[in-house]
Amino acid sequence: MQQSFFFQAMIYLAAAVVMVPIAKRLGLGSVLGYLVAGVLIGPAGLKFIGMEGQDIMHFAEFGVVMMLFVIGLELEPSRLWRMRKSIAGLGGLQVGVTTVLVTGIAMLFGIGWKEALALGMIIAMSSTAIVMQTLAEKGWLKTVAGQSSFAVLLFQDLAIIPMLALFPLLADHAGTADGHGGGSLVSALPAWQQAIVVLLSVSGIVLTGKYLLRPVFHMMARTGLREMFTATALLLVVGIAVLMTSVGLSPALGAFVAGVVLANSEYRHELESSIDPFKGLLLGLFFISVGSSIDFALVTSKPLLIIGLVAGLMALKMAVLFVLGKIFEVRNAQNFIFSIGLSQIGEFAFVLLSFSVQEGVLGKEISDTMTAVVAISMAMTPLAMMVNEKFILTRFCLVSAGLQTSVRPSDVEEEDNPVIIAGYGHFGNIVGRFLRANGVEATVLDNDSDNVDFLRRVGLKVYYGDATRYELLDIAGAGRAQMIIIAISDEEKRLELIETVKKHFPNLHILVRSTNRNDAYDLMNAGIMHIYRETFDTSLRLGVDALKLLGHRAHEATRMAKTFFIHDERTLKHLSSIRNDEEYIHAARQHIEELEVIMQADREAVNLNALAGWDRKAEAETA
């Protein structure tokens, strides 16, 4: 069937748009929705797409690359270091034990040790895409199970490097080491030289990320064009993928390393929100292509073998994970989520399988069978998770899993600051410094890259980005924070940001800077309770000093100022309600009237209140 690109795009998008909401509504999660959509439009279903699903999958694997880049961004090296025990211990043991067991069992079935070892390593991998997506959707990322899963997945991602370096060594050199289409530039080199190239390119990424990228992003940010920033971010990830592929390495890992290197940079949140939509769509595409690539012909030709393999391998992985979970104190309910969640074979298996066929480690037949097994095991995961949630968790565990949030102290960093400050210029930075002096940490967003640059040089954690964007707020933790302090100087932007916050984060207290009276009226109309006119307090302080220089007593002048302050805030509220009625009609005349009213009331208020009490008291003492 000859199909245009647009026709294909339409099929994929339509399948996703139809199936994913249905799956979500049924409580199955988006991953299963995509997978089912893939099966439906694939060769086994409506046949809209044929075997080119495989090619699409290679393209869509790029979503996984982006996902790892984003995961890397969220992992500051220091946090990575704090998680070292879970990563190395839990992750290391999972990969090690699973590999050894699978290798052993494969050898029992009469497979040669080299192939068995390759299979062992392939099967030890779990699916970062499926697990992270599912955990995020259920809000379990911060639970013990979520953090442990993440640690294991991370170790697996790291384990890819030595594995990819090891696979050529496992190859029988009579194999098909060359002559394959996507061959890397270095595959002609002897194995140990390839290993060196691998190490060199990874360190290349680290150095580039550390020294080259920040000035580049800085420059892009200064252009003020948002799409240039997005383009640069995409270029970065694509560039890494190309580089990694050309030296025969996993692009996902390269992207992850670049992400970690950039995790400390001020552009982190902006990068994340630029990449996020692409990542989501590509991952969706990836899941669809996994669904469509399940070779039902192969499955029906030897159903028992494939079903047996899927069930056996998942059970084996689950058992290993469950025992390790026990050892590492992942408690009951959490341990079920952890071990069942990671029991599938991951998308890296596709990469490793094709790589090992290229390298001549595995035969085509084993590889084809395994591809089907991997895809089915991935499709089974959301189902297994659902069964787990519906039956096992409720029946065997007293505590609902979602409620059992992280109790483990050290290695899990909660990045949730209670306060978000948008705008860190001369206004915001005083608020920020004051809060900080009182032990309140704030997540700071500023869209002046020069300012961000300077503030970071003096050691503050400030992030570059346009705070009015939903994605950036979301990543900055707006869903969990208690308040947002809007201290940006642009009035329009402030109102825009208020709209976004009110719509998406009704949980936040909103404290807003305002330029003057008129601006304060607009903010009141926007329903804001906490409004701070930027010059009001300062002007009054100046007034107090003026009175003092004219001979007034300091305490009395200060009380006058406070009286004036309270009175003015009150008139502001009063006049804003009047103004609403005939807005814009007699604006100019009104303004003058307003001033008159204010000044008249000023005199009355000050005379009445400020020095009451003591005055009369003096009268009384003489009486």
Partner 1 sequence: MSKVLIQFAHPSHSKSNVQKTLEKYARKVKGVTFNDLYEHYPDLFIDVKREQQLLAKHDIVIFQHPFYWYSSPPILKQWQDLVLEYNWAYGPKGHALKGKKIFNAVSCGGGRDAYTSDGYNRFPVGQYLLPFNQTAYLCRMEYLPPFVVHETYTIEDYVLKAFGEQYAELLEALVNDRIDPAELAGVEYLNELFPH
Residue 540 CB, shortest distance to partner 1, in Å, is 13
Query: For residue 531, what are the β-bridge partners?
Result: 512
Looking at beta carbons only, is 208 or 609 nearer to partner 1?
609
Looking at beta carbons only, is 566 or 595 nearer to partner 1?
566
Instruction: Let me know if 580 is exposed, middle or buried by CB neighbors in 10 A (0-12, 13-18, 19+).
Output: exposed
| HEC string for 137-181 | HHCCCCEHHHHHHHHHHHHHHHHHHHHHHHHHHHCCCCCCCCCCC
Q: What angle do CA 149, 155, 159 make, to 5 degrees?
A: 140
Residue 564 CB, shortest distance to partner 1, in Å, is 11
Instruction: Let me know if 411 is exposed, middle or buried by CB neighbors in 10 A (0-12, 13-18, 19+).
Output: middle
* Residue 4: φ, ψ to 5°: -80, 165
- Which spans of this chain sit near partner 1 (rule: CB under 8 A)? 559, 562-563, 566, 609, 612-614, 616-617, 619-620, 623
Residue 126 CB, shortest distance to partner 1, in Å, is 47
Looking at beta carbons only, is 440 or 612 nearer to partner 1?
612
Looking at beta carbons only, is 545 or 583 nearer to partner 1?
545
Looking at beta carbons only, is 354 or 609 nearer to partner 1?
609
Amino acid at 207: L
Residue 599 CB, shortest distance to partner 1, in Å, is 22
Looking at beta carbons only, is 398 or 623 nearer to partner 1?
623
Residue 613 CB, shortest distance to partner 1, in Å, is 4
SS3 at position 404: coil
Residue 539 CB, shortest distance to partner 1, in Å, is 18
Can you spell out the DSSP letters for 409-458?
-SS------SEEEE--STTHHHHHHHHHHTT--EEEEE--HHHHHHHHHT
Q: Give the whole-angstrom CA distance, residue 127 versus residue 106.
A: 22
Residue 616 CB, shortest distance to partner 1, in Å, is 4
Residue 622 CB, shortest distance to partner 1, in Å, is 11
Instruction: Let me know if 80 is exposed, middle or buried by CB neighbors in 10 A (0-12, 13-18, 19+).
Output: middle
Q: What angle do CA 12, 14, 19 make, to 5 degrees?
A: 95
Residue 482 CB, shortest distance to partner 1, in Å, is 18
Residue 485 CB, shortest distance to partner 1, in Å, is 19
Rounded to whole angstroms, the maximal C-alpha distance in the chain is: 118
Looking at beta carbons only, is 584 or 614 nearer to partner 1?
614
CB atoms inside a 10 Å sphere around CB 67: 26
How far CA 132 is from CA of 37, 149, 341, 480, 596, in Å, comes to 20, 8, 9, 19, 63
Looking at beta carbons only, is 324 or 561 nearer to partner 1?
561
Looking at beta carbons only, is 217 or 536 nearer to partner 1?
536
Residue 602 CB, shortest distance to partner 1, in Å, is 17
SS3 at position 5: helix
Can you spell out the DSSP letters for 70-115?
HHHHT--HHHHHHTHHIIIIIIHHHHHHHHHHHHHHHHHTT--HHH
Looking at beta carbons only, is 549 or 620 nearer to partner 1?
620
Looking at beta carbons only, is 316 or 540 nearer to partner 1?
540
- Please state the separation of Cα 594 from the chain's center in Å: 49
Q: Which residues, 6 or more positions from 357, have their beta carbon under 8 angstroms from its beta carbon?
A: 176, 363, 364, 367
